[in-house]
Amino acid sequence: MELFVIFGIGILVGIVCTTVATRTKSVGSLRVDTSDPDDGPYLFLELSKDIGDIYRKKYVTFKVSLKNFIPHE
């Protein structure tokens, strides 16, 4: 029983560490606009850090934001 408790605590610590690491390393958001069905989705890049900090990195992480900006009536 103790082994299951230790295993569960290890999983929770891993989830928390992964969440914190991905949020702090995010350099902006990738906004996906699917409001125009004829042209397909539009992608917009919104950076939260300076471009000088980004181009030196080999990999970057973005938050994905799904928003429709053209209202359908």
- Domains of the chain, by residue range, sit at 2-66
pLDDT at residue 72 greater than cutoff 60 = no
pTM: 0.59
Summarised one tens digit per residue, pLDDT across range 37-70 is: 777 788 888 888 888 888 888 888 888 888 776 6
Confidence grade of residue 11 (pLDDT, cut at 50, 70, 90):
very high
Whole-angstrom distance, CA of residue 3 vs CA of residue 10 = 11
